[in-house]
A = this chain, B = another copy of it.
Amino acid sequence: MRDVYVIGIGITTFTRLEYPLVEIAAYAGLMALRDCGLKKVDHLYVANMGSGRVNNQTGLASAVVDHMSLTPAGAETIENGPASGASAIKQGYLAIASGMHDTTMVIGAERMREVNNLVATDFVATLTHPHAEYIYGVTLPSLAGMFTRLYMEKYGVTSRHLAMVAVKNHANALMNEFAHLHQPITLEGILDSPEAATNNPMVSDPLRFFDTCPISDGGACVILATKEVAEKIDKPKIKLAGIGQATDTHAVHDRVEPTDLLAVRGAAKQSFDMAGLKPADVDVAELHDAFTILEIVESEEVGFFKKGQGHIALEKGETQIGGKIPINPSGGLKAKGHPVGATGVAQAHEIVTQLRGEAGERQVKNAKVGFTCNFGGFGNNVVCLTFTREN
């Protein structure tokens, strides 16, 4: 396989965006072209989960490739639920690694706020098992609530630990101009004060309002290329060194031990093995904290901490910027936002920003190895990426 590098990155603000989905995608793509100075790419992949349902639009990649004047380049839309972004990066990687193309653009984009919150929640619920979960009214918050309760009972995680994730990621997002939520929060305000019950109401017991990510619009882009192309770009050389992917039962209740996220474990191991690295080598990571509990559990399953010890490391500050392994310096899904199809690409955008040393106030010092975990379904299809800085 040929080596593959990330040569360009672009992103939109994550928020409620009042312009069409095609424009959101194209904006992120144009920012990435500007970042690396290219004018054309050989192929386009667009990661998107819901445009057919939410935005009355199929063939999104064809619309974007035309709108960006990239025709006659080929284009496909890649869907893997909330892990669509990293799945699309994998396809972009394969197209170059194989020798078929020299440059691929991977855009993730989603416009979820075109519909109201209830419709958006139902849309996301369509990723659950159609016959064993969805038709009984399961939603992602409900699955996450049940999962969190089991985790609390088994491993001693408390509501205070969950809130610590939110406080950390909101603080990080304050330093990210593209983040959806620029709202400093404290344990006092969302947990300890008399007003906490009002500020932070229960959503899906034991998950409260600030344990869940917002519903966001947004787009992100990475441009991938061969080593030959990368060497002509005046940017630090960031290699996409490892890709891992694994699936698990589609219905959560089919798992022997529902608190084990085996797809996260498997995908992370593959990604590290391919890169020839270990979890301890990682300097900065973006994990998929659609719910606060997930950051804690993923930090264990990918191998940063032992199973059941993630919340202890969190307490000690090890996952903060400046800590042993900074997690979600971008603010994460929790505070940066979660336009589902864009998320995996946005995670890669943050890691490349960090490895280039372009992260400003939220820069993790001397970051040379970065890692992302993009969590599809409720852990049924997970893609992990490992990035390394070469110069």
Contacts and interface: CB of A to CB of B under 8 A. Distances in A.
A74 B383 contact: yes
13 contacts: A50-B58, A52-B126, A53-B53, A57-B130, A62-B127, A62-B247, A62-B377, A71-B249, A72-B246, A74-B90, A74-B245, A77-B79, A97-B98
Contacts of A254: 66
Interface of A: 1, 20-22, 49-50, 52-53, 55-63, 65-67, 70-81, 87, 90-91, 94-95, 97-100, 123, 126-127, 129-131, 134, 243, 245-251, 254, 262-263, 266, 376-377, 380-381, 383
Nearest to A80: B76
A247 B71 CA distance: 5
B52 A381 contact: no
Describe A's contact surface by its main secondary structure: mixed
Given A77-B79, A98-B98, A100-B94, A72 B22 contact: no
A75 B130 contact: no
Given A22-B130, A50-B58, A59-B80, 16 more contacts: A20-B130, A52-B79, A56-B130, A58-B79, A59-B81, A62-B80, A62-B81, A62-B247, A71-B247, A71-B249, A74-B246, A74-B247, A74-B383, A75-B80, A76-B90, A97-B98
| Copies of this protein, total | 2
A54 to B, nearest CB: 8
A316 to B, nearest CB: 32
A57 B130 CA distance: 7
B127 A71 contact: no
A62 B380 contact: yes
A381 B74 contact: yes
Task: Rank and list the top 10 A-B pairs by shortest CB-CB distance, nearest first.
Answer: A74-B245, A98-B98, A66-B250, A59-B81, A59-B127, A72-B246, A77-B79, A62-B381, A52-B53, A97-B98
Nearest to A250: B66
Given A58-B50, A383-B74, A65 B247 contact: yes
A126 B249 contact: no
Contacts of A59: 79-81, 126-127, 250, 376-377, 380-381
Contacts of A251: 66
A77 B80 contact: yes
Contacts of A380: 59, 62, 66
A245 B123 CA distance: 31
A75 B381 contact: yes
Nearest to A64: B250
B67 A250 contact: yes
Contacts of A56: 126, 130, 134
B75 A77 contact: no
A241 to B, nearest CB: 14
Contacts of A134: 56-57
B130 A63 contact: yes
A126 B246 contact: no
Contacts of A127: 58-59, 62
Contacts of A62: 80-81, 127, 247, 250, 376-377, 380-381
A164 B75 CA distance: 34
Given A61-B80, A62-B250, A52 B55 contact: no
